[in-house]
Structure 1
Amino acid sequence: MPLTKPNQQLRRDLKAIAFNLEQSCVDLGKLAKKLSDGDAIALMGLVGTLYEEANQLVGYADEVKNGRIIRAAEQKK
């Protein structure tokens, strides 16, 4: 069954946010190379958390695709 437009948009949004998080992780990783060891380790811990959250968003996008998460129709005002 094809996705409804609201679910298509939700899936696109989730994937785009996950991609932006991953790109931020790449940038933070480059920055970490310029820091002292202690600061770099702390920053890489944060990067790891952001990667996990990006993966979780991709998982949600897959659940939308498979129909396990559905965006409810917006109520008219």
Structure 2
Amino acid sequence: MSLTKPNQDLKRDLQGIASDLKWSAVELMRIAERLSLAGNEVDAQAVLRMCTVFHADEDRLAGYADEVKNGRITRAAEQKK
């Protein structure tokens, strides 16, 4: 099944945001490591909890992109004002 242009855009946007979250989580993990090495374990753990949330959100967005690909989620045509 071929996707409409709005659905292609939606899928690409969801995948792009998921990728951004993944990159952000990787960078935050590096920051957490530096915090831990500096002896700031409380803040390091807080940052690691943020990474966990980002990873879960990344997975959820990737799932939504798959649902768009399979036609279970669609973007309605925008109405002109």
- Give, in whole Å, the separation in 2 of the partners of 1:42 and 1:12: 31
TM-score of the superposition, structure 1-length normalised?
0.96
Three-state SS of the structure 2 residue aligned to 1:33 is helix
Report whether the alignment pairs 1:46 with 2:47: no
After the TM superposition, which segments of 4 or more aligned residues of structure 1 sit over 3 Å from their partners?
A: none
TM-score of the superposition, structure 2-length normalised?
0.92
Identity over aligned pairs, percent: 53
Aligned-pair CA distance for 1:17: 0.4
- Give, in whole Å, the separation in 1 of the partners of 2:21 and 2:46: 18
In structure 1, give the amino acid aligned to 2:24: S
CA offsets 1:23-53 (integer angstroms, 9 cap, x no match): 0000000000111111111110111001100
Report whether the alignment pairs 1:32 with 2:36: no
Show structure 1 runs of 5+ residues with no match: none
Show structure 2 runs of 5+ residues with no match: none
User: What's the Cα RMSD here?
Assistant: 0.6
- Number of residues of Structure 1 aligned to a counterpart in Structure 2: 77
The partner residue of 1:63 within 40, 62, 67 is 67
